[in-house]
Structure 1
Amino acid sequence: MRELTIGDQQVRVRATPLALLFYRQEFKADLFGDLVKMQHLANDPSQIDSVAILQLIWAMAKADAYGKQFPSFMEWVGSLDSIDFSDQSFLMTVLEEAADGFFRSKSKQAFQQRSK
């Protein structure tokens, strides 16, 4: 679990299997597959897909809040005042949480190597 600051909000994110399910249900796509496509962000931030990052954060935040009411993606994004995508530490925190939760041992190391 990690905490992110988005605008003036603290958002807790947790990369769990529930995040995979929530992502699929909301976006009709595979989180793991989309995450693999994001591996290059550390090397080339110009390729950022800001909506994909927000979708990843939303799914992990919803997983962290399991058992509690959580807004739809559109409502959640609408509640954000601002977000600083130029903050490399912010993006790396998101990707590190995903790597820690969805990749284990050697595959995690390989993912982290490719994203550096």
Structure 2
Amino acid sequence: MRELNIGEKTVRVRATPLALLFYKQEFKSDLIGDLLKLDKVRRDPSQLDSVSFLQLIWAMAKADAYGKSFPSFVEWIASLDSFDLSDQDVLAAAMEEATSGFFRSGVKSGAAKRR
């Protein structure tokens, strides 16, 4: 879990399987596939898709808030006063949370441990 500061708002995000489901349900696209496209931004900033970043953040925020009322994507976007695309800390933290949560290399599954 990480906290991101977007404008004047603190947003808690968590990369869990729920985020994958929420993303698919809301955007009819695969979060991991879109995440891999977003990773290209590190090499070529002109590839930035700001809405995709916000979609990623929304899905992880909704996953963190599981069990609580959470706004639709449009309502959530409307609640943000601003989003500074030049704030590399927010973009990097969102990508780091997604990477650490969805790509846990070296972690053995329960099935592998039961041998």
Compute the TM-score of the two structures, normalised by the length of structure 1.
Answer: 0.88
1:26 and 2:30 aligned: no
Counterpart residue number, 2:110: none
**Is the radius of gyration larger for structure 1 or structure 2?**
2
Counterpart residue number, 1:53: 53
Structure 2 portions without partners, runs of 5+: 107-115
Matched to 2:9, the amino acid is: Q
Matched to 1:40, the amino acid is: K
Post-superposition shift, 1:90? 1.4
Structure 1 portions without partners, runs of 5+: 107-116
Post-superposition shift, 1:16? 0.2
Post-superposition shift, 1:58? 0.2
Post-superposition shift, 1:77? 0.1
Counterpart of 2:5 in 1: which secondary structure?
strand
Q: CA RMSD in A?
A: 0.9
Counterpart residue number, 1:109: none
Counterpart of 1:32 in 2: which secondary structure?
helix
1:7 and 2:7 aligned: yes
Identity of aligned residues (%): 70
Q: Distance in 2 between matches of 1:43 and 1:84?
A: 20
Q: Deviations over 1:6-27 (max 9, x none)?
A: 1100000000000000000000
Q: Distance in 2 between matches of 1:89 and 1:7?
A: 12
Matched to 2:6, the amino acid is: I
Post-superposition shift, 1:29? 0.6
Compute the TM-score of the two structures, normalised by the length of structure 2.
Answer: 0.89
Q: Deviations over 1:28-65 (max 9, x none)?
A: 11001100111111222221000000000000000000
Counterpart residue number, 1:112: none
